[in-house]
Amino acid sequence: MAVLAALMVLFTYVQTGRLTPDIGFLWVALRPRSSAERRQTQGREPNLPASLDIWADSSGRIQGHVLRGPCKGRWLDDLSREDCEAQGAYLRDRDRPSAVKFDQYMRQRYSQEQSRPRRAHAVTTRAEALAELGLGEEATQREIHLAYRQAMRTHHPDRGGSHFKAARLNAAKAILEV
């Protein structure tokens, strides 16, 4: 901190040609901070190092090593789901910055395991798509396009409509486009 203050004094001298720096910025730079301020700025308990050594490799996959907590000394990929939950709880209580990174890792690791079931609200057949747009079997491409535009004007989420209804309309249009 003292080096920073000295550099600021030097910078002020170079700019103004005077050696009388404003003492206010020195007080802000060098003033003692309370432990609450340190905890707030660091996001973890004072004087404690990070709990994780975590990084993203060249492919974007998050990897790391646990430095503190119930799974100390283990690689993230070696942890079971229960171990991850215990480590996550520890981090949320004691080390917020590491907890944020660990939550990103958890989302990445466990999002592939969950196979998404087919949505019950998805439009899957031509008949369902036509019914969603309020058209009959004999509808032309122009009628389909106009009905879709009219329905989206009413149901678009940016205009106060439902995301659910807009998704159904988009699915109907995708099925009916030839």
Q: Is residue 11 predicted with pLDDT exceeding 70?
A: no
Give the pLDDT of residue 142. 94
Closest to 76 (Cα-Cα) out of 49, 108, 31? 108
Distance separating alpha carbons of residues 50 and 44, to the nearest angstrom: 8
Does pLDDT of 167 surpass 50? yes
Q: Does 40 have pLDDT greater than 50?
A: no
Rounded to 5 degrees, what are φ and ψ at 117? Answer: -70, 155
d(CA 75, CA 52): 10
Residue 28 has pLDDT above 80, yes or no: no
Is the pLDDT at 84 greater than 80? The verdict is yes
- Check whether 5 has a pLDDT greater than 80: no
Q: Residue type for 46, please? A: P
How confident is the model at residue 177, as a pLDDT?
86
In contact, 67 and 52? CB cutoff 8 Å: yes
Task: Tell me if 98 sits within 8 A of 91, measured CB to CB.
Answer: yes
Is residue 14 pLDDT above 60, yes or no? no
Per-residue pLDDT at 18 exceeds 70: no
Cα distance between residue 112 and residue 107, in whole Å: 9
- Look up residue 155 and give its two tokens: 């149901």
The encoded tokens of residue 102 equal: 């660990």
